[in-house]
Amino acid sequence: MTIYIKHMVSNRCKQKVAAELKRLGIEGSTIQLGRVELPKPLYSDQLEALRHNLSGYGLEVIQNHNEELVQKVKLVIQSMLAHSAHELAINHSEYISDKLGVKYAYLARIFSETTGLSIKQFIINHRIQLTKDLIRKNNQTLTEIAYQLNYSSIGHLSNQFKEVTGFAPSIFKRKTRLHADQSQMSD
């Protein structure tokens, strides 16, 4: 049985889910970001307890078919964007549709109705979040980041970054450095 969990975005979230499953006596699960593969179906009281306990951490067990489909789309996109630039030179709509075995028009409609964002906007937002993470690591140039995330140019990256965050990447980088320097001084 697979259950999907909304807002599960970090290893810390995975640890919380693992702890809750263990507390409920559920063992042998495979936990990945956004989903849990269970060795057998949960009883309704176990599922309700898991739902209740995870909500305390801001995590939500997805019940609705549309939300489950949206979570699957998000997982495919995150996986797709995690690959190298060479593998990203694909048609996103075809890739997502092929991976899920569902027509893209249907996925796009359900996604936008459920999230209020188009799939394209979600991809852009996710790429910008990846860009911000890479800038914070501070060991790559914007040109390298643009290439890694398969932007056609640094200008394209800069335009999307500014559109989403309100800053140019260079200003974000300066602010990040300044914040890091101030944090080190206060230690």
Q: Supply the pLDDT for residue 19.
A: 93
**Among candidate residues 117, 132, 160, the one where a domain is terminated:** 117
SS3 call for 4: strand
User: For position 162, which CATH number holds?
Assistant: 1.10.10
Greatest extent of the chain over all pairs of C-alpha atoms, in Å:
54
Instruction: Give the predicted TM-score (pTM) of the model.
Output: 0.69
Q: Which amino acid is at 19?
A: A
Convert the pLDDT of each residue in 154-171 to its tens digit: 999 999 999 999 999 989
Q: How many domains does the chain have?
A: 3
Q: What is the pLDDT of residue 181?
A: 66
Share of the chain above pLDDT 90, in %: 45
Shared domain check, 83 and 31: no
Q: Do the Cβ atoms of 8 and 33 come closer than 8 Å?
A: yes
128 and 182, same domain (yes or no): yes
pLDDT 10s digits, 26-64: 888 899 888 899 988 888 888 899 999 999 999 999 877
| Domain range enclosing 40 | 2-61
Which letter, b or e, does each residue of 143-157 get, where b requires 16 or more Cβ atoms within 10 Å of its Cβ?
eebbbebbbeebeeb
